Amino acid sequence: MTASRKTLRIGGACAFWGDSDAGVAQLVHGGDVDVLVFDYLAELTMSLLQKARSRDPKAGYAADFVTAVSPHLPAIAERGIKLLANAGGMNPRACAEALRRAADAQGLTLRIAVVEGDDLMGAREDIAARQVTEMFNGTPLPSSLTSMNAYLGALPVASALQKGADVVITGRCVDSALSLAALIHHFGWSASDYDQLAAGSLVGHILECTTQTTGGLYTDWWRVPGWDHMGFPIADCNADGSFHLEKPPGTGGLILPTVAAEQMLYEVGDPANYLLPDVTCDFSTVRMEQAGENRIFIHGARGRPPTDRYKVSATWADGFRLSSTLTIAGDDAVAKAERTGEALLARCRRMMGEAGFGDFSETLVEVLGSEKPSYGRQARGTAAREVVMRFAVRHADAAALNIVAKEVAPFGVSAAQGTTGFSGRPKPGPVFRLFSFLWPKDHVAVTVSMDGETWPVSIPSGVPVDQALGEGTHYAAQKAKHSAAASSDDDVTVPLSALAVARSGDKGNISNIAIIARQPHFTGLIGEQVTPEAVRQYFQHLVQGEVRRYDVPGVHAYNFMLEQALAGGGAGSLRNDPLGKTFGQVLLALPVRVPAAWQGELDTGPR
């Protein structure tokens, strides 16, 4: 860190296992950063890493981390940049050893610390004996598990930094914990500085998705330059937790309050009660202000004591799945595709039965391009002349799905003219389902190891969940203020996109959609018309559960949670969009009534 600088500059270098390596070079050589954070782990990634480790004791970690940073280690060491990564996955020690070998080969000495304790597979008998249930649907713990990991917090990483670590490698921790740990260490925050801890968690949450924060996936995609050289995000952080969000000079992307607001609300559920291991965050009053070109100032997060529980994500195997596609063109393409899918399933059912197999446990046929999978009865594409027929099936026996795999290609000659696009025989793959539950922190032993020394990390116990929850801030007064404005006889109907931007994601089988008003005075009208009931009705073809809405006045937004919306979610869903990534765009097509006088302020899109 530059000696005269009072802030701490943290760069977000990786958002997921498979993200571009370009972020490391960009941030090391052009970002003037003090710390780089790397997020590699999704819930179901752990089951894949565990499977890899079972085949090879030296595997089970995100090898991409070592590959990404190795060419830049001399510059990283020279500039004293700290590297914090959850790349350890199911084998943090092996990851650390691989990085140590890479450093040694370049004549560099790095102090590499490893955080352990998240892997709870050794405690499964104790966990089973306590009859834990799934936190979202109440089902009992499966008898056979492939992985079970607690989401650890920032304190173990901060402890390693305090002991002089240059690199800290963890297994499962909450994504934002890496940035928070750097801030705790640098500014000397205590475990009870809850407002600062919430602010630092917001830093981590904003950085964790890298280019998704600098204009990637932004609703107004046409406004974002430089997709070919997107800038990776940098948080320039102050001692009170406020920070400026920016990106390296000369890079693509766009940093605006609405862009950052989309990311802030991404997958947080209730913004007033974002439960993390170190703090209960309230983001409902966070404010974002433009502070220059591609630079915004973010402040206003508040915190309360954390709960006495860790969230634990376990995975279990539930049979096998297979999917494939065919492209179908010509008049009546949608009808031809639907018939093709039905015939394919019927043929395979017959052949599976003749071979002694039972029926599929689940099937799905989607006609992509017809709009039906996403928009249901709102679809406008029934007359589409080029579509993709996508089918997905699930079965307890992979051998049954091998029969299906052989029967896709024959439909290129036995069904509708205009069928093409077969890309090779598909292969069955395992289905891993997620089982999430809460587990007492005092039942989890967390340690840090470095330079041959291992030490325990004391974690504050926290409070019961019901004591951690708070009300947050609401819109009551603002809604009343705008009721009259929305009831004029001169109203016009426009899509919600004219008034708002959106971002959507998932939490298991729950879709999370954030709606952010383009202008503060649009917020009340949006609240009156985009109600939980209206959203439930609009998504009735996809959502089977309740829809909840949360107010976020600081950024003029609402956050929706659509329960039982993703057909199981993740790898447990057969849908083309198992993570709800399209839900925000679908909701932006919802018709709303606005005063005619507002038309000059509405966004009409790129056309």
> Model confidence over 119-134: pLDDT tens digits?
999 999 999 999 999 9
Boundary residue ending a domain (306, 325, 352) = 306
Task: Count other Cβ atoms within 10 Å, centred on residue 363.
Answer: 17
Residue 528 inside a domain? The answer is yes
The reply to whether 263 and 327 lie within a common domain is: no
> Model confidence over 228-282: pLDDT tens digits?
999 999 999 999 999 999 999 999 999 999 999 999 999 999 999 999 999 999 9
The reply to whether 183 and 97 lie within a common domain is: yes
The reply to whether 217 and 352 lie within a common domain is: no
- Could you give the number of structural domains in the chain? 3
The reply to whether 170 and 73 lie within a common domain is: yes
- At residue 480, the pLDDT reads 38
The reply to whether 60 and 176 lie within a common domain is: yes
> Model confidence over 52-101: pLDDT tens digits?
999 999 999 999 999 999 999 999 999 999 999 999 999 999 999 999 99
Check whether 423 has a pLDDT greater than 70.
yes
> Model confidence over 310-348: pLDDT tens digits?
999 999 999 999 999 999 999 999 999 999 999 999 999
Boundary residue ending a domain (306, 326, 352) = 306
Residue 452 inside a domain? The answer is no
Q: How many whole angstroms separate alpha carbon 94 and alpha carbon 89?
A: 10
The reply to whether 273 and 371 lie within a common domain is: no
More confident residue, 479 or 385: 385
- At residue 482, the pLDDT reads 46
Residue 457 inside a domain? The answer is no
The reply to whether 569 and 508 lie within a common domain is: yes
Residue 392 inside a domain? The answer is yes
The reply to whether 490 and 540 lie within a common domain is: yes
The answer to whether the CB of 91 falls within 8 A of the CB of 59 is yes
**SS3 for 365?**
strand
Q: Which domain holds residue 595?
A: 476-601
Gyration radius of the chain over CA positions: 25
Exposure pattern of 287-301 as b/e (b: 16+ CB <10 Å)? Answer: bbeeeeebebbbbbb
The reply to whether 528 and 588 lie within a common domain is: yes
Q: How many whole angstroms separate alpha carbon 180 and alpha carbon 308?
A: 19
Residue 606 inside a domain? The answer is no
Q: What is the pTM of this model?
A: 0.95
Mean pLDDT over 361-386 rounds to 93
> Model confidence over 585-596: pLDDT tens digits?
999 999 999 999
Residue 442 inside a domain? The answer is no
Q: Where do the DSSP E strands lie in 489-582?
A: 492-495, 500-507, 510-517, 547-552, 557-562
**Please, which residues have CB within 8 angstroms of residue 242's CB and are 6 or more apart in sequence?**
199, 297, 298, 299
Residue 221 inside a domain? The answer is yes
Residue 462 inside a domain? The answer is no
The reply to whether 162 and 249 lie within a common domain is: yes
The reply to whether 582 and 543 lie within a common domain is: yes
Q: What is the mean pLDDT of the chain?
A: 95
